Chain A
Amino acid sequence: MGPVSWSVILPLLLAGVVWLLPLKAARWLSLVGGLATLAIGGWLTAVAALHPQAAFSHVDHVVWSASWGAAWLVGVDGIGASLLALSGLITAIATVSAWNEERQPRAYHALVLILTAGANGVFTALDALLFYVCWEVVLVPMLLLIGLWGGAQRRYAAMKFFVVTLAGSVGLLLMIVLMWARTPEHGRPVPVPPAVVLAYADTDGTVHGLTVTPGMGDQLPTVVIPRSFDLRHWALSWREWEHEQVLGISLAALGFAVCVIAFAVKVPLIPFHTWLPHAHVQAPTAISVILAGVLLKLGVYGFVRIAWPLFPHQAAVWAPWLAGIGAGGILIAAWIALMQNDLKRLVAYSSVSHMGFCLLGLASLTVAGVNGCVLQALTHGVGSALLFLLVGVIYDRAHHRRADGFGGLAGPMPRFSGVLLLGALTGCGLPGLAGFPGELLATMGAFIGGYPWLGVAAAVSVVISAAYLLWMVKRVAYGPLRHPEQASFPDLDTREWIAIGPLVVLAVVLGVWPQPLLDAIRPAVEALIRHCAGGVS
């Protein structure tokens, strides 16, 4: 059991242990879970940055059922490792933010730990059944966390989140079952390009655990792919999915369609986003942070790990549409954010807007674009978590979130206002802060990939995001103090600084020096682009 497996199992174990300890100990266990995940993910990211390779590393393989070919199969590449680190960081920060949770703390922190385990499982699973299990495991803790600890309309928000996400992912289950059932029981020989063999060959010459039979003459080498749920094997046999027919369409087309729906609900992409404003607004601050910082990235990761590798031809065919949806989402969500008076709703729509860059970059099918997609996912996790925490800070003081109910808070809360401005500028994509590299790369990808007008639209959206974010800062922090009772608001205290501090540091560092992250993710991104290039032909 390597470190990757522990990143999933440890939070689960801690969630069980929580019930045996006194009430106050629960938050410490949650913090340990988050920090452990951060340590494992951070170390794996560093390894990936220093020793770049396209293949998955630290792969753990424990057989679950030999007859089904299902296994506990986990491993990371640079993308998975960095998202794992993000997951740990955000969980730890959210726990610090919820440090003083008085209502049922054991249940609260146990649910947060299960949530962490599920998210970590999604980021590291290489077995499709395990991926789906972890994908759905996230639903129940969120239902309870929003439904029990949330705001006034928490029940509706929690149930809507649950049902909409479940409805989106049932298609994924059908795809997994079909792809398993359509593989012959004794395996299927599949040709593998020599470049792939070169990129993924292990020390014993096997590719993803499969022996390579050299081809005769100018024939390609082949591997025999057994009937299993290994996502790496399924990616190798992507041509087979194009040939298999299901109800008149190819299995690849069906699979891609259900993948897009399932992941579009999670990202979220307009028009599947309607659950998000409710969920964000009604959830407690810490849960909003986890939702924005980690759970939205599950959707992007699904696109990168499953939709694009398994169905490269479909991705190439539908890329223009998806790029359009991505760019459209950026603009529409930004426009809606401009009209918001509820601060949390504003930040929620800003989240939707920024995630549109991810899909734009991914659909451009260029190295720059996909780099931008993953980098944007990582930096957006930092930026939006920061904004949600800041909104939580003033909600704690004023007990409302209306932008027009504040004004001139720079007087009583100067440091808070400074950090709020920093957070807003990060969200705008100011060069030098974390929001810039990802958006830049994604927009460049759009231009390089042949969508110049979408790139222009994405660039224009920066103006709109500057509008709503800076206007929000103006309404809240600048000008005269409009409500005299707010003069006595305390500035950020120690606990809040501990939660916000790391995000502030990262917002600056990642903006100035995103290179380590790019080093970590680039081999995997380039391998994905090469794989998808084969799908274009």
Chain B
Amino acid sequence: MNPLPILPEALLALGIILALVFDAAGQGRLAWLSALAAVAGGAVAALVVPHGPVVDGMLATDTLGQAVRVLVLPATFILLLTGNSAVDGGQRRFAIPILAVALGALVAGASVHVVPLFLGLELMSLASYCLAAWSGTRRNAEAAMKYVLFGGVASAIALFGLGHLYGLTGHLDFAGIATALKTPSVGASAALACAGASLLAKLAVVPLHLYAPDVYQGAPPLAVTVFASLPKIAVIAVFGRLIDLGIIGGQPVLSLLAIATIVWAAAAALSARDSQRILAFSALGHAGSALLVVSFGATASALWYLAAYLPSAIGAFAVLGLLADRTAQEALRGSGRRRPILAGVLILCIVSLVGVPPFSGFFAKWHALAALARTGGTLALVGATVILVATATTAWAYLRIVRAAVLEPGEGTAVLPVAPRSALLGLALCVALTLGLGLWLDGPTALGLVGR
């Protein structure tokens, strides 16, 4: 077995170990730097190492796995940079759970076998639980507790379903399951539904969405940024693979659930007043849109949708963390006036999330709509209309953040957090990607996947 194809994942694992060692030795900065180096090395390795099945055919570093790497690793790099703006006052050990989430995402995205899929999802979940409780406040603890309980039950049901699937089909690899499921049966459908619970819960798709608002609001901003980015990429890729193999059918169930998620996120965002809550609902709505696109088999467009909107989302969270120490509207009020450049970045990121051209958030929507229009069919067009109506309604919610930070008078919080250079570098990367990534219309085809 040739181990080279999983060098990126191996580097991430090495990075986790190094970071743990350095952190135990009290060298927080070295821990963070080793995490950065691991991610950078992994990104370089992903571009040069050969492809092929590894680990007894459990992981397939094919184009889909490669696409996940291309999205997850740069996102992790930016998250490590911008993460310095918040949380743990210089300890930097937040890099460890972020690396773990990234590793889980890569493993889950590349898996063609039930075992690494479950392992990857669980790794992402466990590291996410840690991140949710990161700042140690009561709110964080409550959010983390809800997350653990809900996620734990979802994982248990998923394991239950996967076990049944093994019992029914006798296979643990996706190809074998796909062949065995050619003859549909009620038992298999029930098992698949249970197995999908973990995936749907990670995306916070209706009806497994109830934990998300409280968890996303209670967790520290860095954690929410991680939740909104890395696991979504992995889960969308997994859905793409499963639909492509024919194990689950995208329509109509998955499409309808996605539409329901978009509608719910848009409606809930309208009543939210806290900026973090508004951005959290935005992330959930975007995840729903990506799921809608992938449910019609357009995996490349769905992943590009995430790639194009993530710089704006990460940038928005990061800037909010730099403008105020709390995300409540009163804390934010007028804080942009003392920091006009950061205010400009906030406006750019929020406007991109609304979907105003020529920023990347608009082109994300563009590719999603184009994929839905290409598919045709009533459900696809209904979904496209829902996405557009949600765009219009959530604009009001998003603008509340801009209004509080930039348009309202006030002094903001009395003491502004200091902006470390690494966070500013991360923000600069987010801004550059928001401005330029969307203009590359051939992005989805460049991801090289079938089902544009």
Contact = CB atoms under 8 A, between A and B. Distances in A.
Most buried by A among B365, B374, B393, B402: B402
A174 B441 CA distance: 17
Interface string B349-393: 001001011100010011001101110101001101100110111
A181 B370 contact: yes
B373 A155 contact: no
A107 B343 CA distance: 12
Most chain A CB atoms below 10 A, which of B370, B378, B395, B403: B395
A481 interface: no
A489 B22 CA distance: 74
Contact of B399 (A133, A162, A170): A162
B347 A247 contact: no
21 contacts: A64-B439, A67-B441, A129-B366, A132-B357, A136-B356, A136-B357, A140-B351, A144-B406, A155-B408, A166-B391, A167-B392, A170-B388, A170-B392, A171-B388, A173-B388, A174-B384, A177-B372, A181-B373, A181-B376, A246-B381, A247-B381
A139 interface: yes
Interface in A55-106: 64-65, 67-68, 70, 104
Contacts of A182: 373
Given A162-B399, A166-B395, A247 B408 contact: no
A163 interface: yes
Contacts of B160: none
B389 A67 contact: no
Interface residues of B, number: 38
Contact of A247 (B373, B378, B391): B378
Given A132-B357, A136-B362, A178-B373, A155 B395 contact: no
A230 B406 CA distance: 39
A167 to B, nearest CB: 4
A68 B367 CA distance: 11
Contacts of B395: 162-163, 166-167
Nearest to A178: B373
Contacts of A148: 406-407
A236 interface: no
Contacts of A511: none
Nearest to A104: B340
B381 A133 contact: no
Contact of A133 (B357, B374, B376, B378): B357
A478 to B, nearest CB: 40
Contacts of A158: 407
Contacts of A159: 396, 399, 403
A308 interface: no
Interface residues of A, number: 37
A180 interface: yes
A154 B385 CA distance: 31
Given A167-B392, A167-B395, A177 B369 contact: yes
A166 B392 contact: yes
Interface of A: 64-65, 67-68, 70, 104, 107, 129, 132-133, 136-137, 139-140, 143-144, 147-148, 154-155, 158-159, 162-163, 166-167, 170-171, 173-174, 177-178, 180-182, 246-247
A133 to B, nearest CB: 4
Given A166-B356, A181-B374, A247-B381, A67 B445 contact: yes
A203 B384 CA distance: 42
A65 B441 contact: yes
A180 B445 CA distance: 17
Contacts of A155: 403, 407-408
Contact of A64 (B378, B392, B399, B441): B441
B407 A147 contact: yes
Contacts, number: 89
A180 B372 CA distance: 12
A67 B357 contact: no
Contact of B347 (A68, A144, A166, A177): A144
B442 interface: yes
A177 B439 CA distance: 16
A132 B365 CA distance: 13
B271 to A, nearest CB: 16
A71 to B, nearest CB: 11
A5 to B, nearest CB: 16
Contacts of A143: 399, 402
A132 B356 CA distance: 10
A166 B354 contact: yes
Given A136-B357, A178-B373, A180-B373, A68 B441 contact: yes
B404 to A, nearest CB: 10
B182 to A, nearest CB: 31
A162 B340 CA distance: 21
Given A133-B357, A174-B369, A70 B441 contact: yes
Given A140-B351, A177-B370, A67 B356 contact: no
A292 to B, nearest CB: 23
Given A140-B356, A163-B396, A181-B373, 5 more contacts: A136-B362, A140-B347, A143-B399, A181-B374, A247-B382
Contact of A139 (B356, B366, B384): B356
Nearest to A170: B388
Interface string B401-430: 011001110000000000000000000000
Interface in B239-295: none
Nearest to B403: A155
Contacts of B372: 177
A187 B366 CA distance: 21
Contacts of A144: 347, 406
Contacts of A67: 441-442, 445
Interface string B305-341: 0000000000000000000000000000000000010
Rank and list the top 10 A-B pairs by shortest CB-CB distance, nearest first.
A181-B373, A167-B392, A65-B441, A133-B357, A170-B388, A177-B369, A147-B407, A177-B373, A155-B407, A136-B357
Contacts of A170: 388-389, 391-392
B358 A133 contact: yes
A140 B362 CA distance: 13
Contacts of B408: 155
A167 B441 CA distance: 24
A87 B299 CA distance: 43
Nearest to B404: A155
Nearest to A160: B396
B336 to A, nearest CB: 10
Contacts of A133: 357-358, 362
A313 B376 CA distance: 24
Contacts of B358: 133, 137
A408 to B, nearest CB: 37
Given A137-B357, A155-B403, A177 B392 contact: no
Contacts of B357: 132-133, 136-137
B401 to A, nearest CB: 11
A163 B362 contact: no
Contacts of A180: 370, 373
A202 to B, nearest CB: 27
B445 A173 contact: no
Interface string B169-183: 000000000000000
Nearest to A156: B403
A247 B391 CA distance: 21
Contacts of A162: 395, 399
B122 to A, nearest CB: 39
A144 to B, nearest CB: 7
A174 B407 contact: no
B345 to A, nearest CB: 13
A154 B408 CA distance: 10
Contacts of B439: 64
A165 B366 CA distance: 18
Contacts of A139: 356
A168 to B, nearest CB: 8
Which of B370, B382, B399 has the most chain A CB atoms closer than 10 A to its own CB? Answer: B399
A160 to B, nearest CB: 9
A68 B442 CA distance: 8
A173 B354 CA distance: 14
